[in-house]
Structure formats: structure tokens, C-alpha cells
Amino acid sequence: MSTQQEINYKRIAEAIAFYKQNFKRQPSLDEVAEHVHLSPFHFQRMFKDWAGVTPKQFLQYLTLEHAKEVLNKEADVTLFDAAFESGLSGTGRLHDLFIKIEGMTPGEYKNGGEELNINYQFADSPFGQLLVASTNKGICYMAFVDEGEESTLKDLKSKFPNARFSDRSDELQEKALSIFHRDWNKPSEVKLHLKGTDFQIKVWETLLKVPMGELTTYSGIAGKLKHPEAARAVGSAVGSNPVAFLIPCHRVIKADGQIGEYHWGSTRKNAIIGWEATQVYAPQEN
């Protein structure tokens, strides 16, 4: 690491420490830039290069994490308490922050899905056992069972800690699972009930438009979203996909042609891509 790189690194480390110590004051970009002896323009650019997010985004993440800790402390903690303790001017800003980053309201986060009734079942697929779960609105979770049924069910319940769960199948689940047993050309028949940030939802919607048997790249998706510089953020949104296979994150590969990472393993990703290709391009019987 060169001397200049060392100086830049120390400046960013100092800025991060400053944010962590002072986030309740919601310091401005100018204040933090001055603290590390940089112009606001250069500080913004340098911070994004080193941390992968803008200073504003980093401050938002710190604020939100503290607000979540406050909301998790006691049952009688109010949204005003969380906003005040996090340095926000009111519950409106807390609401906007939750919607932007968590894809849910503060109240929904606090109640942990207590108003939801979730059905679930374990089912077989060509690529291993699945756990699929649904609300009355659609599929809210689908995951391959690699760590055992108990562990996978625990992961589902951790996402909706206060929901009521029933071990039973329903029509929504059966329609979703039928995707493995026929040439699926009506994906709209599978109803999804997902929570995510605006950006995550846009990425998932774009993935749904990638035809079966075809592939895309992280940069390709970023381009379709008109944010060509956001390939890394796209990768994060792809990795946050809560419904295996239905939102086809397996159809995303690296720009150099490498298969890339997959939440449920690169071997399974290769198998799924190959299977889909045979479904689409297999010779038709006369």
C-alpha cells in the first residue's frame, strides 16, 4: 500500500469512527469532510470508493440499526422513542428510513409479522428438498433444505418471528411447485408476497423478465435499471432473494462468463441452468 493509499485509508477509517460516535447528531457531509481535512466533493468520492456506499447511506444504516435495537428492547417502546434515540427529528423520518432500507414500516418491523398466518411445507424438487411458505397473498419464502429441515424452518420463522405458522400445503404453494413439472410460461399465476427495499424489488422484477433458458449479468441488470454503476448493489439485491428459483437469481452470471456465486451453491446453480436449457431447447417430439 502506497503512502497516499495509507493516508486515504486512515481518513476513511477516521470518518467511519466519527460517524459511529456522532450519528445521533446526524452530522452533515460538510462537517465530516472537514473533520478528515477533505473537501466535501473529494470526501464523498473517496468514501464511496473505500466503503462501497455513500456517506449518507452509511449514516442511514447506522441510524437504522440503532433504531432497530431500540425497538427490540422492550414491548412498550414507541416509534417516537426510537426516532428520538436515533437522532431523527420525528417518526416520519424513521418511517421513511425503514421503508427505504428495510422495505417495511417501523410498526411492521416491531410486530414481526404478528398479523400474518403462514402455511409451509417441505417438498421435493429436481434439485433437492425445498421449504416453501405462503401467506394469503402469495409465496413469501422458498429455500433449498441444505442444513436440515429444523434449521431451514428456523430461518423462515426468524424472518417473521411473531407470525402464526401452520404445517400444511395450500393452492398457492402447489402452483409455485408446479414450475418444476411443466414448461412454465405463465409466471403471473404464481403469486408472491415479498418485502424488500424499492431497489431490491426493482431488481427482482427485472430478474422475473429473464426468460427461462437464458442468462444475464449483474451489469446487465444494472443497465436495465438505468444505473450502470450499480452492479455491486445489484449483486447484493440478487443475494437477498427470499424465494429460490421463483425469482431466478440462478440466471445471473459474471460478465466474464463465470458462473458466479449462488446462495444455495454453485453446483446447484450449474444444474439448474443446464436443466432449464434442456426444457427450452430439447428437440420437440413429432
Its sign, for the CA torsion 165, 170, 174, 175, is negative
pLDDT at site 65:
82
Which of 101-105, 140-144, 240-244 has the lowest average pLDDT?
101-105
pLDDT at 268 over 70: yes
Secondary structure of residue 144 in the 3-state scheme:
strand
Q: Assess contact for 35 and 14: CB atoms under 8 A.
A: yes
pLDDT at site 111:
62
Model confidence band, residue 73 (pLDDT cutoffs 50, 70, 90): confident
**Each residue's pLDDT tens digit, 105-142:** 666 666 656 677 899 999 999 999 999 999 888 899 99
Beta-carbon contacts of 146 under 8 Å, excluding residues fewer than 6 positions away, are: 128, 152, 264, 265
Rounded to whole angstroms, how far apart are CA atoms 98 and 162?
A: 19
pLDDT at site 154:
94
CATH 3.10.450.50 for domain 117-189: no
CATH number for the region 198-281 comes to 1.10.10.10
| C-alpha grid cell, residue 240 | 437477498
Secondary structure of residue 123 in the 3-state scheme:
strand
Rounded to whole angstroms, how far apart are CA atoms 36 and 43?
A: 8
**Each residue's pLDDT tens digit, 11-43:** 888 999 999 899 888 999 999 999 999 999 999
Instruction: Provide the total of helices (H) and of strands (E) in the chain, helices listed first.
Output: 13, 6
pLDDT at site 87:
76
Helices (H), 23-142: 29-35, 40-51, 55-73, 79-85, 91-102, 106-111
pLDDT at 160 over 60: yes
How many of the other CB atoms lie within 10 Å of CB of 190? 19
Task: Establish whether domains 3-111 and 198-281 are of one fold.
Answer: yes
Closest listed residue to residue 199, CA positions, set 151, 177, 246, 232: 232
Active-site residue, selected from the candidate residues 221, 243, 249, 253: 249
Q: Assess contact for 140 and 176: CB atoms under 8 A.
A: no
**Each residue's pLDDT tens digit, 106-115:** 666 666 566 7
Model confidence band, residue 286 (pLDDT cutoffs 50, 70, 90): very low
Mean pLDDT of the chain: 83
Model confidence band, residue 209 (pLDDT cutoffs 50, 70, 90): confident
Which of 1.10.150.120, 3.40.50.920, 3.30.70.980, 1.10.10.60 would CATH assign to domain 3-111? Answer: 1.10.10.60
Domain ranges of the chain: 3-111, 117-189, 198-281
Rounded to whole angstroms, how far apart are CA atoms 125 and 132?
A: 11
Q: What is the mean pLDDT of residues 247-270?
A: 89
Among residues of the chain, what percentage have pLDDT more than 90? 34
CA dihedral 148, 243, 246, 261 (to 10 degrees): -80
Q: Is 140 a catalytic residue?
A: no
pLDDT at site 283:
55
Secondary structure of residue 252 in the 3-state scheme:
strand
Q: What is the mean pLDDT of residues 165-185?
A: 84
